[in-house]
Amino acid sequence: MSRFTRRHLDPASRLGEILFGLIMVLTVTLTASFTVADGKKGVRQLLLAAIGSNVAWGIIDASMYIMNTMVVRRGKIRLVEAVQSASDPDAALILVKDRVEPELQELLGPEKAEAFSKSVLTHIVGAHIKERILTKEDFYGALASFWLVFVSCLPAAIPFLIFSEPQVALRVSNFLLIAGLFYVGQKWADYAGKSRLVVGSAMVAVGLALVGVAIFLGG
């Protein structure tokens, strides 16, 4: 499954899925702890809250992945249609420059960016559009999103299976979630080429701040 998620989600997307999942479970378990019962009944309530929020967020994330894919694909189709129906080559070239990797073109320099845009334009003009709403790969990506959220947050539910006191289980679960935030920050630092300690600590701070905002606003 690790290969599966790497194949269908880019590094930034994978880290984002894990981050939002950790924040969601931490928010739900902390909120539930305010009204939880004592003893094993309270532990069971927290376990259900942790797993339930985990599954729910995974389903939401998978659904959003599908919706985003549909919007992005439709945008690409509209770009091809606009370029092919442009009034003149100059107008078509402007469309390409505005929509096709403008950030990349900034790094290439004026001459290479111009050549890049003209090369893309040549391929778009003669392209035959295949209008597909969804593909098999899209569903694989959605499944990868769900699986990544579910698995990454699952360790937070383990303390509720081990400890009989709700507050003890909650503290251990919260520690695991915070450790998860730090781990995500370190991976993000590796991806961005930054300090692992600094980014990991910043991720914990940002994550806890977002949890605090969510709880304060009734999340």
Q: How far apart are CA 61 and CA 71, in angstroms?
A: 15
- In percent, how much of the chain has pLDDT > 70? 91
For 11-46, the pLDDT digits (tens) are 888 888 888 888 888 887 777 766 666 777 877 877
Q: Each residue of 52-76: pLDDT tens digit?
A: 888 888 898 899 999 998 888 888 8
Which amino acid appears at position 101 of this protein?
Answer: E
Q: Given this model, what pLDDT does residue 66 score?
A: 92
Q: Would you call 85 helix, strand, or coil by DSSP?
A: coil
Q: Which residue, 20, 52, 42, 53, is CA-closest to 169? A: 42
Element (H, E) at 122: helix 110-125
pLDDT for position 193: 78
From CA 182, how far away is CA 184, in angstroms rounded? 5
Work out the number of other CB atoms within 10 angstroms of the CB of residue 5.
20
**Residue 67 pLDDT:** 92
Find the range with the poorest average confidence among 58-62, 72-76, 88-92, 124-128.
124-128
Dist CA 197 CA 203 (whole Å): 10
Rounded distance, CA 200 to CA 189, Å? Answer: 7
Q: From the CB of residue 132, how many other CB atoms can be counted at a distance below 10 Å?
A: 10
- Better-predicted residue by pLDDT, 51 or 102: 51
| Average pLDDT of span 200-210 | 84
Residue-averaged pLDDT of the chain = 81
**Position 5 pLDDT exceeds 70:** yes
pLDDT at 101: 65
Residues in the chain: 219
Say what percent of the chain tops pLDDT 90: 5
Mean pLDDT in residue range 75-99: 81
CA angle 8, 68, 84 (to 5 degrees): 100
Structure-model confidence comparison of residues 217 and 121, the more confident one: 121
Q: What does the domain layout of the chain look like in residue ranges?
A: 2-216
- The whole-number average pLDDT for the span 189-214 is 82
- pLDDT digit string, tens, across residues 94-112: 887 777 766 666 677 777 7
Q: How many CB atoms lie within 10 A of CB 152?
A: 23
